[in-house]
Structure 1
Amino acid sequence: MPVKDLGFRRAAPALAVFAAVRLLGLAVLALWCAAAGSSPHTLLSARWDSLWYARIAAEGYGYEVLLPDGDVHSNLAFFPLLPWLERLVAAPTGLSHGSAGLVVSAVAGLAAAWGIFAVADLLHGRRAGVFAAGVWAALPVGIVQSMAYSESLFTALAAWALYGALRGRWLTAGLLAAGAGLTRPVGAAVVAAVWVAAARAWRSGERSWRMAVGAVLAPLGAAAYVLWVGARTGGGLLGYLDVQGGWGNGFDGGWAFARFVGAKLVSSPAGAAAGTGLIAGVALVLWLYGLCVRQRQPAALLVYCGIVVALALCASGYFGSKPRLLLPAFPLLLPPAVALAGWRTGRAAAVLGALALASAVYGAFWLNGSGPP
């Protein structure tokens, strides 16, 4: 891969576009909440998963909720890096842990946009990198990037780990992959990507102790947490899966999701429209992945993106979270970013602006709904 300067000056346009899109989303959310009588701060930092992360930051692990049907929701389902960072920010600033989570997400969002720009710039040039960061910010579920959730943090670690692997910076890639593994269960996708990149480099003759150490470091974060949960619960290697099972989460190849969509299609005209929209959304994701393959993206990106998509679409659990779970699959955005980079600036900016406005409106509507993202 060619060496390119990744200083602030080169990445500044991408970071500016990302920040502008996110600020638009927050402004529209504030206006919507003012009309609806809700609190944007509460929606972003003190509802749904944000509450679980903040409780871990404040009290540690061990909290659980017993549901009437006998299921147990344990906070062991949530990986520890975001709560650790919330605690780190809250201690010297006096912020609540939820507010500290917003600070972490704001910084991580910029880091993620920079990492996405870096990967796209490396593969397709600076202009494509700017649009990749902009399109990622303008996704329909982009508001999650501004919540006290772990998606921004995970995407930042994943993007920079992949960049490190593509550039042969194996220690950096391994350490960041370990961090991703401490952030979300899908950190396994980053580990696999680093291993694939290292294996291909090994076969091409690039062999060093840094590569070996990076490959060993990559899975340590996820492995350490999963083993700790297993020891704490007495469930051994399957202990974490038992915890996820209490939340109704598991991997069933997409069968539960297919039944959910099928039930929508036959429920009512509105349900049929929603089911059709879900099918169209899945088809769009698969089509974009096909474009990634045709674009001949590096194997590491294809493996990473493929695993993220497979885990998001083929897992059982709360179906409303699937769009959010796809948020880290940023390689899907490289084909449209390259296409936008080939357009005239005015036309491309108008399309991106329209996407950003639609994302802002949808995000405000989504967060003011009844269910979690």
Structure 2
Amino acid sequence: MKPVRVTINGKFMSAHMTGVQRVAMEIVREFDRLISENPSLASSVTLELVAPKSAEPALTTLGLKAIKVRTAGRFGGNLWEQLELPWLAKGSRLLNLCNLGPALSLNAVTMLHDAQVHAAPQSYSVPFRLWYRFIQPWLGHRSRQVLAVSEYSKQDLIKYGVAPTEKITVAHNGVDHVLRLTADMSALDNLKIIPGEYVLALANIQSHKNIKVLLTAFADLPDLKLVLFGRADRAALQGLIEAPLTDNIIPAGPVSDESLSALMSQALCIAFPSRTEGFGLPPLEAMLLGCPAVAAPCGALPEVCGDAALYADPDSPADWVARIRSLKDDPALRQTYSNLGQAKAAHFTWARTARQILELLAS
């Protein structure tokens, strides 16, 4: 039998790094490793990553050996994806890993990470919401197969009519990429923080991320600092609450992967109060590095974190204070959840994810 020809939609290599882009990059890297080491896989599927020319500088960071890489086309972004990619991928199966793909493609496998524009529309601009509410159901019904990143996400895609049940396969994300990093401990010195004396959280002001509950809670945790990594600055965070931000709130801004690894490994815990989440990379990444997680029992978080995390009511700052305080006051309890978290997160590997998707593509 001839191997199945697969074109990977490489538009993600021309975008700024988000969780969705991270997933795509790690899956492609793992595809490359698996095909290089496994002749039977190499004989069943051939992969080519096709990207817009604007992605050329970033493509070398993937370090691909077995997967052919090609840049082509005159456009970039959505125009390239919608108008040029269908012709560039002609005669092959198209793999879209980042929620979007060309509307004209009939032979595609598309990863839809969540249905947040339906579940939490207030978190998105009107143009973004309108585009996703059109394109995702179109792709969900037109694609040959749809990949969901959790059972929760699958059920949301069905609930909101984004994709039919029989087309959806769940392929959990991996988190073991964090083990490749060399932690940059200077990040703690730069922020003037002490190991074990701070809690880490994501600086994202989208409504469903629910950071407001943490900003309120830390008024009652004066002996601990809340370090927030990401794009939101102090002014943006202040806009979420009426009371002035306390001095123990530290916006760290965007940080490198190496700095984030250090911040995760040395934190008392990571706090993740999202009201809905298609998967939830940050808490599992932190757990794999030995950092306990306190999460809201919402979205896919209970599915992926299981009994290895503590949970707090997303509407109760006092509940977050109590859970965080319990870890601070009881080192043995913190160590228990550190051990549980590492064991749980170790199950989520990119090798498992990539092999599952390759087998689906080749079938």
Task: Provide the TM-score with structure 1 as the length reference.
Answer: 0.25
State the structure with bigger RCO (CA 8 A, min sep 6), 1 or 2.
Answer: 1
Task: Provide the TM-score with structure 2 as the length reference.
Answer: 0.26
Structure having the higher strand fraction is 2
Structure having the higher helix fraction is 1
